[in-house]
Structure 1
């Protein structure tokens, strides 16, 4: 593993307890029209003096939420030079993929609605951020919300069992223009965000309990932002605590007839995380034991769990288990699309009497159990419908954005075809998950013939990954229609070498954001 140069010294360290302090540290001279200034001297006490440890000492009964503390310590201690080459490369890949999906999804209704709510940039404000397609705005949390709405709209961004970790990049890019955020600091934050959110998804099993994926996404976003901005352990811990008690979303978002909120739910979690890290940065404290304490997550929602240790060796990094999508579908449906493409080479859908699809529980539960999946009436239901996507892939040979035009998913000809498809739990597929994605298809024709297709680890799965060239081709396919061929190529080149840059502003400018420079 090569030796990497160290990050600059940590910024905004807390003062010693009892010391005379200045106002909170804020960088000066943002190159994107956002001004971050140190407040003038004055008698106002710095609220960060009253951290949770001080309170615990005053009442004589210190409490420690070990889960939260381990996340805060990891996020504050992580450094660029500790990242293996493969991990740094993967961080750039997930960034390129998320940015491509975000620019490709700019015209989606959720992203358009979110951008309408963005306030104008205020040079005197310390709370601004950058939104795709809008440039600087006066609200970092709303910018993060708008960015993640765009990233999620196409349902084309990455996957890890329990959610889409690149949803968190909406926040990191919103705050990426802050002074002092280098390409290396950004990538370090990306890795931290992934490692935290993925471990939380594994440990909490919230999805299986009926809760949505925003909980892990919210806490992962806080950790990544804290690492990127160089915040200390205490600040990150308070931001985590604030997020932990105020961000437990219901999975009803993904049940029944799906709405636009399906693609905006994690954007809300990312927005909350962005708000929390800003509050903590200004001195807001959070609860003692939001996970392990009374009325906390263990007590009310999950029961006890153990968070897996954070990475030391290269093979410990969860980010390397990120899967990418070759088609814009709910991830488990990639195996169904791959199977349909193979099956159509053997038999025409018109000649098939019955198709039986065997898959693992979370795939069946998410996209193959609800009767509405056989009658999709919204885009969001269509991209989460295994029978619809299988039918379309058999008819068209692929899945594209055109698959989600109303005339496509409302086509009355499809309904009887979809009724020929059954989806069931398959024991072998369930045993293989989550290490492998396995899907078994059996098709019986009207003449009595039977055809079988077995898919194990479809294209894009981390065990069958898309190549760097394929990811770049995917990015250019999404971004070229938005920015033009030359601009899309330049944008890809910037983010694939982002560790060489001392600031992210050029890459944000190339993304189409109007970024006025403050002299």
Structure 2
């Protein structure tokens, strides 16, 4: 028995009955959150371009594209994951040496489950598999410090989950995971220096290729059976040695993931909360800020604070803005929120935020670092021109795994994101189907997703809503 075969046996043996009620609820909340974020990105310029490309390439029509139309499962996976990933508003998992976004797998699982005419309970089980594989590999086999992207573990997770959704055998599942894991080892340069559109498209690529790997395996194509432990395999070349006993794994990892409160990179959430809290303190005046000092944990400093992944002071695009703690804290202090409107080109270019972000300094703190990933501690100090210093400190928020969202909380976020596109009736239909997804076929959800307009309605397009996607055409 090879290690990939052990993993495949775990995937094949996963059943909905093994999920706790709490895990089922949180899986549904993740689907609701992911669908809402995807819909809110429908008219973002890069997604318009990707949709046009997808339509021009065609496909066999087995899987629905959000916003209408169909394509082959792998192409639908790319487009639908790109929608849910573009705004950078998705869920996250914090491991000591890695951070990933397990909801990035949902678009691929949805495409595969629809093509297999699966039931909602089977779909949710496959999503749970994705979360378990993705998070556990991130726990024991982090790759960021070695120059590889956090999508690397996802190559195993998405192939496993799609195989589950397609109903593949153990051997077919092992081959799918082996093909995907061998072929998809992305470089971390995706998220360093000046950022490109690929920051939001790296996982859609992995999702597409993981889906295709499962289709290849179903057709009888084999992959390297010792992808993990073999000569020049994942352990030897990238991850180093690790052990997971898949026979002892459950399907509960979704309970350890967190949902974003602010439309911002996950490690910024506490700093943004603190900055927004300062706005309510007596004497605050954004026009009088002389300096802003952010103290945070090492991972946040390294990724978004100007540490090992490059300076975050030159901000020109959405991709750079939502990965700059300096920009996001400045926007929070000026606007009182960080939502999709913070990444409109005209907002990014405005003098007030460009000038204020130059006054922000970020410093890592060893004590804060020791509390991560169980907490995300941060402290923000704002010094005004007259010498007054205002400060606030926080370590978590509603949506963190220690204080998870309930359905009502998640529905409020969903409502703000999708209503400009769907109106109230379709919005409520979508939420209702997702709420009862374990007793409904997946096609009920995809049929509704096909009805979502590709553009927000005229009555909401220019009403000053904060829930706008960045870079609209």
TM-score, with normalisation over the residues of structure 2? 0.89
Corresponding residue number in structure 2 for 1:159: 92
CA contact (8 A) 1:387 1:421 kept: yes
Larger relative contact order (Cα-Cα within 8 Å, sequence gap ≥ 6): 2
Corresponding residue number in structure 1 for 2:78: 145
> Displacement, 1:135?
2.8
Corresponding residue number in structure 2 for 1:198: 135
Listed as ranges, the matches of 1:418-437 within 5 Å are 418-437=357-376
The partner residue of 1:497 within 415, 419, 436 is 436
Corresponding residue number in structure 2 for 1:385: 324
Corresponding residue number in structure 1 for 2:449: 511
1-side partners of 2:123 and 2:209: how far apart? 20
Corresponding residue number in structure 2 for 1:32: none
Corresponding residue number in structure 1 for 2:50: 114
Corresponding residue number in structure 2 for 1:136: 70
The partner residue of 1:103 within 39, 47, 60 is 39
- Cα 1:107–1:372, aligned 2, differ >3 Å: closer, same or farther? farther
List 4+ stretches of structure 1 deviating above 4 A: 119-123, 308-313
Listed as ranges, the matches of 1:295-310 within 5 Å are 295-307=232-244, 309=246
- 1:258 paired with 2:192, answer no
The secondary structure found in structure 2 opposite 1:381 is helix
> Displacement, 1:343?
1.1
The secondary structure found in structure 1 opposite 2:118 is coil
CA contact (8 A) 1:437 1:458 kept: no
> Displacement, 1:239?
0.3
- 1:466 paired with 2:397, answer no
The secondary structure found in structure 1 opposite 2:115 is coil
Q: What's the CA shift string for 1:121-149, capped at 9, x where partnerless?
A: 989x5x84222123322x21111000111
Bigger Cα displacement from structure 2, 268-277 vs 295-304: 295-304
Bigger Cα displacement from structure 2, 473-482 vs 193-202: 473-482
The partner residue of 1:398 within 315, 334, 337 is 337
Bigger Cα displacement from structure 2, 176-185 vs 82-91: 176-185
Corresponding residue number in structure 2 for 1:12: none
- Cα 1:442–1:379, aligned 2, differ >3 Å: closer, same or farther? same
The partner residue of 2:205 within 256, 265, 268 is 268
Corresponding residue number in structure 2 for 1:324: 259
> Displacement, 1:310?
6.3
> Displacement, 1:311?
6.1
2-side partners of 1:274 and 1:119: how far apart? 18
2-side partners of 1:243 and 1:353: how far apart? 51
Listed as ranges, the matches of 1:232-251 within 5 Å are 232-251=169-188
Bigger Cα displacement from structure 2, 184-193 vs 221-230: 221-230
The higher radius of gyration belongs to 1
2-side partners of 1:179 and 1:246: how far apart? 25
2-side partners of 1:355 and 1:480: how far apart? 36
Bigger Cα displacement from structure 2, 363-372 vs 234-243: 363-372
> Displacement, 1:459?
2.9
- Number of residues of Structure 1 aligned to a counterpart in Structure 2: 444
CA contact (8 A) 1:359 1:429 kept: yes
Cα RMSD (Å) of the superposition?
A: 2.0
Bigger Cα displacement from structure 2, 347-356 vs 273-282: 347-356
Q: What's the CA shift string for 1:418-452, capped at 9, x where partnerless?
A: 22211111112110111111112233333333333
The partner residue of 2:149 within 212, 216, 226 is 212
The secondary structure found in structure 2 opposite 1:454 is strand
CA contact (8 A) 1:110 1:150 kept: no
Corresponding residue number in structure 2 for 1:443: 382
- Cα 1:121–1:391, aligned 2, differ >3 Å: closer, same or farther? closer
CA contact (8 A) 2:292 2:383 kept: yes
The secondary structure found in structure 2 opposite 1:117 is helix
> Displacement, 1:69?
2.4
Comparing both structures, which one devotes a greater share of its residues to helix?
A: 2
Corresponding residue number in structure 1 for 2:26: 90
CA contact (8 A) 1:212 1:250 kept: yes
- 1:225 paired with 2:162, answer yes
> Displacement, 1:120?
7.7
1-side partners of 2:310 and 2:173: how far apart? 44
Q: What's the CA shift string for 1:268-293, capped at 9, x where partnerless?
A: 00001000000001100001211211
**Runs of at least 5 residues in structure 2 that lack an aligned partner in the other structure:** 453-473
- 1:408 paired with 2:341, answer no
1-side partners of 2:263 and 2:382: how far apart? 25
2-side partners of 1:170 and 1:372: how far apart? 32
2-side partners of 1:109 and 1:200: how far apart? 34
- 1:374 paired with 2:313, answer yes
